[in-house]
Amino acid sequence: MGVKCGFYQGATNCCGCPETIAIRNILEVAGKNTVVVNATSCLEIVSSQYPHTSWGVNYIHGAFENASAIASGVTLALEKLGKKGNVIAIAGDGGTLDIGLQALSGTLERGDKICFICMDNNAYMNTGIQRSSATPFGAWTTTSPPGKFSIGEEKWKKPIVEIVAAHRTPYVATASIGFIPDLKEKVKKALEKKNQPSFIHVECPCPLGWKFNPSKTIEIAKLAVKTGMWILYEIHNGKLNISKPAGKRKPVEEYLKTQGRFAHLFKPRNKHIIKKIQTHVDDEWERLLENQ
Amino acid sequence: MTNGKDYWKTNRRWFLMPFKIILDRDACIGCGSCAAICPENWVMEGDKSKPKKTQVKEIGCNKEAADACPVQCITIKEI
């Protein structure tokens, strides 16, 4: 691959996985002068299998919970050495929303200059699709199986973007793999912040865990944004700005029926769940519009 | 239609460059996979990618670029 790439070929990810596309585009914006701190996640498994590596930039892999704490340390070390560079911490949804939340909160409170990127694939995919707090309502996972007395996952997704924004973080944004120019622009804005942290939440559809055809990854990522299941917005110095979807949203059925993990919702006894999801999406959309 | 010699003359390009590269620009999301894998023939032009040559003698890395495209908007035709 090209010299300007921070991420090289040979990663062992599944067919149809969008994570490496996201990483390559993020590193294209960040440039060679970057330190990547990676929590345990799918990305770490696929990109750094001993003795090979896909990374063309400095790379540290820590434990599951402390990616942001290590990134804090790297920032301070760079400062002491008198060097300049971008520090990017990358973690999955488990490493951000569940296990890494306390370290992330600490980093945001101290206000170290790091860019934290959460690659959200909605469950613990590399250990066998267990539910996490990012799993959407009604989804199938191995630890939330649907059946006679269950509808799948019974809790709503944790509003991590608002939790981070509540720390008075100057730049918080959501992005999607279906809209690469938008993602690149947001990373650029996040890295421009001087001596302040920033946070980007990227949604990455997982063909294995969401049960869809690997060729449909980008299509599903785009559909999630078009139906309003994933709203693209940014909170820049406390000001909320919705980037997509502009105009009329599609009904959520169109998004739900593309994936095997929501297949049980289309049985006659579960029809009311889809209505519940649609109401939730509408409420969320209206709430964001009010805060704009 | 034409005799052998003229046919060669009028359709020379076909014989010399038998592979045609077609890009569906509307489907392209601008991820840059093709430009990263095959910089000889693919460049990023703003938000979308663009082939430098649309007709080539040998496929070369264009095949890999087409395989790597996440939205399958690159097609290679043999004429």
Q: Is B33 in contact with A217 (Cβ distance < 8 A)?
A: no
Domain count, chain A: 1
Taking residues A118-145, report their average pLDDT: 93
Only one residue has tokens 């585009």, namely A25
Which of A9, A215, A218 has its CB closest to that of B29? A218
Taking CA A91 as the corner, what is the angle to CA A89 and CA A94, rounded to the nearest 5 degrees? 150
Whether the pLDDT of residue B4 is over 70: the answer is: no
Domains and CATH numbers, chain B: 4-78 (3.30.70.20)
8 Å CB contact between B41 and B56:
yes
pLDDT score of B33 more than 90: no
Q: Which whole number is the average pLDDT over A182-197?
A: 91
Confidence of residue A74 (pLDDT cuts 50, 70, 90): very high
Average pLDDT on A64-93 reads 93
Q: Please report whether residue A259 resides in a domain.
A: yes
Q: What is the CATH number of the domain that holds A278?
A: 3.40.50.970
Q: Is B28 on the interface with A (CB under 8 A)?
A: no
Mutate to test the interface with A, among B29, B42, B43, B47 (most CBs of A within 10 A): B29
Q: Residue B13 has what pLDDT?
A: 64
A59 found inside a domain: yes
User: For position A160, what pLDDT does the model report?
Assistant: 93
The whole-chain average pLDDT of chain A stands at: 91
Residue A144 is given by DSSP the state B
Whether the bond between B51 and the residue before it is cis, its omega within 30 degrees of 0, is no
Cα A74-A77-A80 angle, rounded to 5 deg:
155
Least reliable range by pLDDT among A3-12, A15-24, A199-208, B52-61: A3-12
Q: How confident is the model at residue A243 (pLDDT cuts 50, 70, 90)?
A: confident
User: Which single residue is written with the structure tokens 């095997």?
Assistant: A260
pLDDT value of position A2: 44
Residues of chain B contacting A219 with CB distance shorter than 8 Å: 71
A246 pLDDT above the threshold of 80: no
Which residues is A118 bridged to in the sheet?
A: A91, A201
Residue A156's pLDDT band (cuts 50, 70, 90): very high
Is the bond leading into A245 cis (omega within 30 degrees of zero)?
yes
The mean pLDDT of B66-78, rounded to a whole number, is 90
Highest mean pLDDT among A41-50, A198-207, B13-22: A198-207
Q: What is the ipTM metric for this complex?
A: 0.72
Check residue A6 and give its pLDDT: 82
Cβ of A2 within 8 Å of Cβ of B72? The answer is no
Interface contact B71-A9, CB threshold 8 A: no
| Exposure on the CB side of residue A27, measured as CA atoms within 13 A | 28
Residue A14 maps to a domain: no
Instruction: Specify the length of chain B in residues.
Output: 79
Is pLDDT above 70 for A90?
Answer: yes
CB < 8 Å to A24, chain B: 31-33, 36
pLDDT at A105 over 90: yes
A14: contact with B, CB 8 A cutoff: no
pLDDT at res. A255: 93
**pLDDT over 70 for what percent of chain A?**
98
Cα A148 to Cα A145, A206, B38, distances in angstroms: 10, 26, 52
Structure tokens at A131: 């539910």
Q: Which of A274, A237, A239 is nearest to A255 (CA)?
A: A274
Task: For residue A15, count CB atoms less than 10 angstroms from its CB and return exposed for 0-12, middle for 13-18, buried for 19 or more.
Answer: exposed
pLDDT digits (tens, 9 = 90+) for A222-242: 999 999 999 999 999 989 999
Mean pLDDT, rounded, of chain B: 85
In terms of Cα–Cα distance, which of A65, A70, A105 is closest to A89? A70
Q: Which of A253-257, A262-266, B2-6 has the lowest mean pLDDT?
A: B2-6
Count of Cβ atoms closer than 10 Å to residue A224 Cβ: 24
Residue range A57-61: average pLDDT? 92
Amino acid at A169: T
pLDDT-derived band at A61 (thresholds 50, 70, 90) equals very high
Q: How far is B21 from chain A, CA to nearest CA, in Å? A: 20
Site of tokens 């032009």 = B45
Instruction: Kindly report which listed range (A50-54, A70-74, A116-120) carries the lowest average pLDDT score.
Output: A50-54
The per-residue pLDDT for B1 is: 53
Range of the domain at A231: 19-291
Angle at Cα A19 formed by Cα A14 and Cα A25, nearest 5°?
A: 135
What does the block give as tokens for A33?
């002068």
Domain assignment present for A178: yes
Residue contact A179–B29, C-beta within 8 A: yes
Instruction: Collect all residues of chain B within an 8 Å Cβ-Cβ radius of residue A9.
Output: 37
Beta strands at A123-124 and A34-38: parallel, antiparallel or unpaired:
unpaired
Question: B79 or A127: whose pLDDT is higher?
Answer: A127
Structure tokens at B4: 């052998």
**Interface A-B: count of C-beta contacts within 8 A:** 34
Nearest-angstrom CA–CA distance, B67 and B51:
15
What is the residue type of A179? F
What's the whole-number mean pLDDT along residues A287-291? 89
Does residue A2 lie within any of the structural domains? no
Residue A6 in domain: no
Report the share of chain A in percent with pLDDT over 90.
Answer: 75
Average pLDDT score over residue span B7-25:
79
